[in-house]
Amino acid sequence: MDGQIFPWISLRTEKLCGAMGTFQPLRRRFRQSQSGKEGNFFIVECSDWVQTIAITTGGEIVLVEQYRFGSERFSLEPPGGCINAGEPTIAAAERELLEETGYAGENPRLIASFFPNPAFQNNQLHCVFIENCRPIAGQQLDPLEEVRFLTFPPEEVFEKIRRQEINHALSIAALLMAKDRILGMKSKN
C-alpha cells in the first residue's frame, strides 16, 4: 500500500467486566483520523512487566523454572513478574530477582522495553540487566507460586533457545537483547 497512514483516535472506553487479576478487558471505540471510519476494538489493560537478566559473580545466567498454566508446561525463563503500581522498574526487577531466587546483585540497568502484543495489550515488558549476582536470602514466593531457580553458562542458555527448551517468546527476546552484554562480560573474565 502506497501513501501515508494516519493514527486512530480513542473516543471512549468501556470496561467489559471486573478486573481479572492483573488484567482488565476493555472495549474501545476508535475513529480513524483521516477517513473518519469508526470501530470497536478489544484491549487487555494490564500492568507493565519486568524480566531480570541476572549474571552471577561466576558469569552464569540465573533462570527460573515454573509451571505456566496457559501452555500447561514448565517454562525456563529469567526471573520476573508484574511491576506494582508506582514501583520503579529497577526496583521491581531487584524485588522479583530476590523473591524468586534469593539473589541480589550490582549495577542494575534498564536495557530494553517493548510491547508484548501491541495488537490487543497496552503494557510493556522491561528488561533489566543486573551483574555480580549472589545468593543473599531464601526464596520469598507468593502462596501459589512454585519456582525452581538454576544457573547456566551463557553458551548453554543460548543453545537452549536454539533447541527450543526455552520457548517463552518474551524470555527469548529479553535474553537476546542482553546477549552482547552477557558475552562481553564473559570475554573480560
Q: What's the residue count for the chain? A: 189
Give a three-class secondary structure readout of the chain: CCCCCCCEEEEEEEECCCCECCEEEEEEEEEECCCCCEEEEEEEEECCEEEEEEEECCCCEEEEEEEECCCCEEEEECCEEECCCCCCHHHHHHHHHHHHHCEEEEEEEEEEEECCCCCCECCCEEEEEEEEEEECCCCCCCCCCCEEEEEECHHHHHHHHHCCCCCCHHHHHHHHHHHHHHHHHHHHC
Give pLDDT, residue 186: 62
All cell numbers assigned to 85: 503500581
Give pLDDT, residue 1: 52
Give pLDDT, residue 149: 96
Domain ranges of the chain: 8-46, 49-188
Give pLDDT, residue 20: 80
Give pLDDT, residue 150: 97
Burial of 142 from C-beta contacts in 10 A (0-12 / 13-18 / 19+): exposed
Give pLDDT, residue 47: 94
Give pLDDT, residue 17: 84
Whether the CB-CB separation of 115 and 123 falls below 8 Å is answered with: yes
Give pLDDT, residue 63: 98
CB contact burial 32-71 (16+ within 10 A = b; e otherwise): eeeeeeeeeeebbbbbbbbbbbbbbeebbbbbbebeeeee
Angle at 123 between CA 112 and CA 183, to 5 degrees: 20
Give pLDDT, residue 188: 60
Give pLDDT, residue 136: 97
pLDDT in tens, 99-139: 999 999 999 999 999 999 999 999 999 999 999 999 999 99
CATH of 49-188, one of 1.10.3080.10, 3.30.559.10, 3.90.79.10, 3.40.30.10: 3.90.79.10
Q: Which residue numbers in the chain have pLDDT < 50?
A: none
